[in-house]
Amino acid sequence: MRTIWIMPGWLGLIVPPSGRLDIVAVLRCWWERRQQRVALAGLDDQMLKDIGVSEAERNRETRKPFWVQ
């Protein structure tokens, strides 16, 4: 059986000084990132203007997978 190693940097994660990843923290981060992108996708043009985000920036951000920072 082979072991597959996933490098934390590939997932947009910062490894704490202990060198151990906290899987709960990782999952929480991914969930929050997904929720933020869903909320951003739901904003209308006036709300985007209010927060200083262009349509192109929103599209670029909301198309990213949840594991990409």
Q: What is the pLDDT of residue 67?
A: 84
- Domain contains 47: yes
pTM for the predicted model, two decimal places:
0.68
- Domain contains 27: yes
- For residue 31, give the H/E element and its range: helix 23-41
Domain that holds residue 50: 21-62
Higher pLDDT, 67 or 37: 37
What's the rounded Cα separation, in Å, for the pair 37 and 67? 12
Structurally, the chain folds into a number of domains equal to 1
Q: What is the pLDDT of residues 6-26, one digit of tens each?
A: 555 555 555 666 666 678 888
Q: What is the pLDDT of residue 23?
A: 82
Higher pLDDT, 29 or 15: 29
Q: Does the pLDDT of residue 63 top 50, yes or no?
A: yes
- Domain contains 57: yes
Q: Does the pLDDT of residue 3 top 50, yes or no?
A: no
- Domain contains 29: yes
